[in-house]
Amino acid sequence: MDFSARYIRNIIFFASRQGADFEVLLKTTGLTIEELGAEDLRLDEKIYNEVVEKAVALSKDDLFGLHLGDYLNLSAVGLVGQIAQTSKNIKEALQHICHFASLGCKALPMELSIGTNTFQLSLTPDIEWVKESPVAVEHTLMATIAFTLKEFQTLTLKKHHPLKIHFSTVKERKTGEITEILGAPILFGENENAIIFDKKYLHEPIISSDYRLHSILVEHANQKLAAQQVKSSDSALLKMIKDTIINLAQPALPSIEQVASNLNLTVRTLQRKLKQENQTFKALTEEIKKEFAISYLKRKDLNIGDIAFLLGYAEPSPFIRSFKKWTGKSPTSFRNEFVKDAGF
């Protein structure tokens, strides 16, 4: 499990506003506040858990997670937030949030269930995480639910409130302020952590919907998920490095310095480890780009310019040259052959 350094940075800033000692929390990460601002950096759960535990203790705020979630905005969830903002309606946004949840935090998967008159978003924290830090889990759950409800209203510009909220992993508290912030009856000791809504809100349109941008973002996220599947010939080390490169794609692939930092290695050590696998960083990134490009070219709704952008090229011509080097064919020729063979 790992967590966005930027998200941890947000926690530290917010906790200091709530009375916690900024320097104590920052020291826990072993990084500077500038380093925590790196868009692509992720830290392990031990650091995350300790920061949250200290933030709750030092701020003396028993509802810290709730207040944090009410404070955050969509920039805190990166690519998944962008996909939600460009979705057609709430149903589509929630389906994507659940599907791509593992790109953000694998420790807190989400599931959308639609019934006859209601729909619910369920959150199920990893069992081992609950054992390691129940405090971090319950405040992360409160933050996620508060944040989700706030952004539900931001995306639609309407104050729709849930019918009720269930908690199984959050200890019972007086519900006055919780109900006021979340806008719904709170039930503790349930079998699930879930937000339950009237079904009629599922088709509420999102004001920032953008089909073209949405299509590109979703394809990029799908490619990142698909690329997490390791080749049978890949070693555990190559899988880890490859997964890191894919997870840090924004959409351009990261530099070797960014990947080394994320893995807590020096660039020289990372290069040495790759050499032991008969690999180089450049060759590995080229292989990933080629895999991404081939997948993108099979999509008729993405033009060559879109694909060049998704692969981090400033314009189409460098991408076309690279693709010819990889396959001996131009992107257009490859696409035409695929369409012909597929019978489209």
Q: Where among 203, 222, 254 does a domain terminate?
A: 203
Question: How high is the pLDDT of residue 192?
Answer: 93
What confidence score (pLDDT) does residue 228 get? 55
Mark whether 158 and 243 lie in a shared domain: no
Tens of pLDDT along 263-321? 878 889 999 999 988 889 998 888 888 888 888 888 777 889 888 888 888 888 999 99
Residue 254 lies in a domain: yes
Q: Does one domain contain both 74 and 189?
A: yes
At residue 311, the pLDDT reads: 84
- Residue 270: inside a domain: yes
- Based on the fold, state whether residues 196 and 96 are members of the same structural domain: yes
Domain contains 69: yes
The answer to whether position 338 is within a domain reads yes
Same domain assignment for residues 215 and 306: yes
| 180 and 252, same domain (yes or no) | no
**Count of domains for the chain:** 2
Question: What CA–CA distance (Å, rounded) separates 324 from 71?
Answer: 48
Q: Are residues 66 and 196 in the same domain?
A: yes
Is 237 contained in some domain?
Answer: yes
Residue 25 covered by a domain: no
Q: How far apart are the C-alpha atoms of 81 and 310, rounded to whole Å?
A: 17
User: Looking at the structure, do residues 199 and 238 belong to the same domain, yes or no?
Assistant: no
- Say if residue 319 is in the same domain as residue 298: yes
- Same domain for 171 and 237: no
How much is the pLDDT for 168? Answer: 93
Q: Taking Cα atoms as reference points, which of 136, 115, 132, 15 lies closest to residue 72?
A: 15
Point out the residues of the chain with pLDDT beneath 70. 39-40, 73-78, 103-105, 224, 226-234, 250-251, 341-344
User: Cβ neighbours of residue 137 under 8 Å, at least 6 residues apart?
Assistant: 125, 129, 130, 169
- From CA 278, how far away is CA 233, in angstroms rounded? 13
CA–CA gap between residue 19 and residue 58 (Å, rounded): 7
| 117 is a domain residue | yes
Tell me the per-residue pLDDT of 201-210, one tens digit each, with 9 for 90 and over. 999 999 888 8
Q: Count CB-CB contacts under 10 A for residue 32.
A: 9
Q: For residue 249, what pLDDT is reported?
A: 75
Domain range for 261 is 211-342
State whether 308 and 218 are in the same domain.
Answer: yes
Which residues lie across from 120 on neighbouring strands?
113, 196
| 179 and 302 co-located in one domain | no
* 321 within domain boundaries: yes
Parallel, antiparallel, or unpaired: how do β-strands 193-198 and 118-123 relate? antiparallel
Domain boundary among 170, 187, 203: 203
Q: Could you write out the three-class secondary structure of 158-212?
A: CCCCCCEEECCCCCCCCCHHHHHHHCCCEECCCCCEEEEEEHHHHHCECCCCCHH
Which residue bears the tokens 């190559």? Answer: 238
**One domain, residues 96 and 222:** no
Last residue of a domain, one of 173, 203, 233: 203
